């Protein structure tokens, strides 16, 4: 509970209708898209400007009140669950698209802007912003930046980090910094821009961002390759990239995922296949896109695909991509609890990783579907389970722990695009080592000496134990 002296000040900063602490507001901001995590905040605030953000942070810093920045709450690592209480700062009033600069190929916006809406605005100018997290219909760009969102186009186009070139951010002290700019080259000191991207709200609140844009590709083509042998599908991925072809999208969908997606979408996916690759190439020239797709089809056949087919129309291609993007929400319909993970390996180890996931699922007798961005080694093993069954949940936790271990053993990482948050914090040391954790804590201290920024995230109290927090 916050002191009424503090809440009065908060109300005076944003106007009393923009600070809420009724139970409805608190409950709806006690969780995010991550299953089995819930913790009530003490208040929810909706600032409308960087000056308001600055005043709020100064006050919170003075009183050592936790501040949890929040976009749409679509993250999957517990990143916006206020585990230490405090104030959830919702950025949705700061949702302005400030500028699309067609001379410099940049866009500047406030953090609360919806990702999909931004994509549409950029595309209307013949331009292209590649990062496309599957949550983009609801997610905000600020959330994407804080989690360094990836998506289906990471292999060819990179992730959020590769596009953010300038930020305005408010430090816990209330000081406002500006990093980078409309600059394709800038080496003036340490790169605070890239450091803030993916910092999960633990360092500062961003209030404005500038991103690079690309000319929009003029053509694209979408295809499916279907396999009875999971290993053949996975090894196709290495063969394609080894042949010097970088598709825009190269997605892997296993049989259990396929069945569920087909059941709810009815788009004619082949239920008897063990794995499907969904592949898209784009480019400025029809001929080069066609040539790449033909080469890919030949490789798929050489790698023993049962069937290879190209989408006959833009509508069919669109349906396929939408079905893939809906995999998580579709899987969520078939079980009370759906836990989606994010293990990532070097692309050449995809086949081994898929086999490991399946072995581990059998070992712990849990149901794991696997789909994901095979082209960049980023798999989403997804467990359909039931939080009310503690015995099964315990086995699920053990299975995921072993999956993270396997990923790291294959030269991979515990999280490719979802972030550390609460969920991966106990495993971070496995990836970055004790000295890596110490450096990160030192960086945190430089930004946030009082530890008010999203406390309880990234850094775990103890390693090697999967946490389920229900405050």
Q: Which of residues 113-142 bind a second copy (CB under 8 A)?
A: 126-127
Nearest to 219 by CA among 281, 162, 159: 281
Burial class (CB in 10 A: 0-12, 13-18, 19+), 291: middle
By CB under 8 A, residue 105 contacts a second copy: yes
Maximum pairwise Cα distance, the chain = 71
Tell which one of 439, 463, 465, 471 touches a second copy (CB under 8 A): 439
Q: Least distance in Å: CB of 335 to a second copy?
A: 26
Tell which one of 5, 24, 187, 315 touches a second copy (CB under 8 A): 187
Alpha carbons 149 and 156: distance in angstroms, whole number: 15
For 376, the 3-state DSSP assignment is helix
Which CB, 16 or 102, lies closer to a second copy?
102
Q: Least distance in Å: CB of 197 to a second copy?
A: 7
Tell which one of 121, 137, 176, 387 touches a second copy (CB under 8 A): 176
Q: Would you say 139 and 151 are in contact if contact means Cβ atoms under 8 Å apart?
A: no
Stretch that binds a second copy, among 6-14, 34-42, 55-63, 103-111 (CB under 8 A): 103-111
Alpha carbons 443 and 422: distance in angstroms, whole number: 19
Which CB, 167 or 275, lies closer to a second copy?
167
Tell which one of 40, 59, 177, 297 touches a second copy (CB under 8 A): 177
Q: Are strands 127-128 and 214-215 parallel, antiparallel or unpaired?
A: antiparallel
* Cα-based angle 53, 59, 60 (whole degrees, multiple of 5): 85
By CB under 8 A, residue 184 contacts a second copy: yes
By CB under 8 A, residue 420 contacts a second copy: yes
By CB under 8 A, residue 401 contacts a second copy: no
Which CB, 364 or 430, lies closer to a second copy?
430
Which CB, 73 or 419, lies closer to a second copy?
419
Q: In what order do the strands lie in the sheet with 106-109?
A: 97-101, 106-109, 205-212, 164-170, 176-180
Which CB, 194 or 309, lies closer to a second copy?
194
The whole-angstrom distance between residue 210's C-alpha and the CA centroid of its chain comes to 19
For 169, the 3-state DSSP assignment is strand
Stretch that binds a second copy, among 45-53, 252-260, 294-302, 435-443 (CB under 8 A): 435-443
């Amino acid at each position: 509970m916050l002191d009424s002296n503090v809440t009065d000040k908060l109300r005076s900063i944003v106007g009393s209708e923009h600070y809420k602490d009724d139970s409805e507001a608190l409950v709806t901001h006690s969780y995010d898209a991550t299953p089995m995590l819930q913790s009530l905040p003490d208040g929810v605030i909706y600032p409308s400007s960087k000056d308001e953000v600055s005043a709020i942070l100064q006050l919170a810093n003075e009183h050592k009140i936790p501040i949890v920045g929040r976009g749409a709450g679509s993250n999957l690592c517990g990143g916006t669950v206020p585990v230490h209480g405090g104030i959830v700062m919702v950025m949705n009033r700061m949702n302005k698209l400030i500028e699309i600069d067609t001379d410099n190929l940049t866009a500047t916006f406030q953090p609360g802007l919806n990702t999909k809406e931004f994509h549409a605005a950029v595309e209307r100018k013949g331009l292209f912003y590649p990062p496309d997290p599957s949550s983009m219909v609801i997610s905000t760009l600020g959330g994407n930046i804080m989690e360094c969102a990836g998506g289906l186009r990471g292999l060819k186009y990179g992730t959020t980090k590769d596009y953010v070139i300038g930020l305005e951010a408010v430090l816990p002290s209330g000081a406002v910094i500006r990093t980078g700019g409309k600059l394709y080259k800038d080496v003036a000191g340490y790169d605070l821009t890239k450091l803030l991207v993916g910092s999960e709200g633990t360092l500062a609140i961003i209030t404005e961002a500038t991103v690079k844009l690309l000319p929009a590709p003029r053509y694209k083509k979408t295809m499916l390759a279907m396999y009875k042998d999971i290993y053949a599908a996975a090894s196709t991925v290495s063969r394609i990239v080894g042949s010097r072809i970088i598709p825009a999208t190269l997605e892997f969908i296993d049989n259990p995922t396929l069945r569920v997606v087909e059941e709810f979408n009815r788009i004619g996916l082949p239920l008897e296949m063990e794995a499907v690759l969904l592949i898209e190439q784009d480019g400025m020239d029809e001929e080069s896109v066609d040539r790449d797709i033909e080469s890919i089809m030949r490789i798929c056949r050489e790698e023993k695909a049962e069937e290879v087919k190209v989408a006959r129309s833009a509508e069919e291609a669109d349906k396929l991509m939408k079905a893939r993007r809906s995999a998580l929400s579709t899987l969520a319909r078939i079980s009370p609890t759906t836990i989606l993970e994010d293990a990532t390996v070097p692309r050449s180890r995809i086949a081994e990783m898929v086999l490991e996931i399946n072995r581990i699922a059998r070992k712990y007798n849990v149901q794991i579907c696997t789909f994901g961005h095979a082209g960049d080694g980023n798999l989403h093993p997804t467990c359909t389970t039931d939080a009310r069954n503690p015995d099964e949940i315990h086995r699920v936790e053990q299975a995921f722990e072993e999956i993270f271990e396997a990923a790291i053993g294959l030269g991979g990482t515990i999280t490719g695009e979802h972030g550390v948050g609460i969920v991966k914090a106990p495993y971070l040391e496995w990836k970055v080592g004790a000295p890596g954790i110490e450096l990160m804590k030192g960086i945190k201290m430089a930004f946030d000496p009082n530890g008010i920024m999203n406390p309880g995230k990234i850094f775990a109290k103890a390693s090697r134990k999967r946490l389920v927090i229900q405050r």
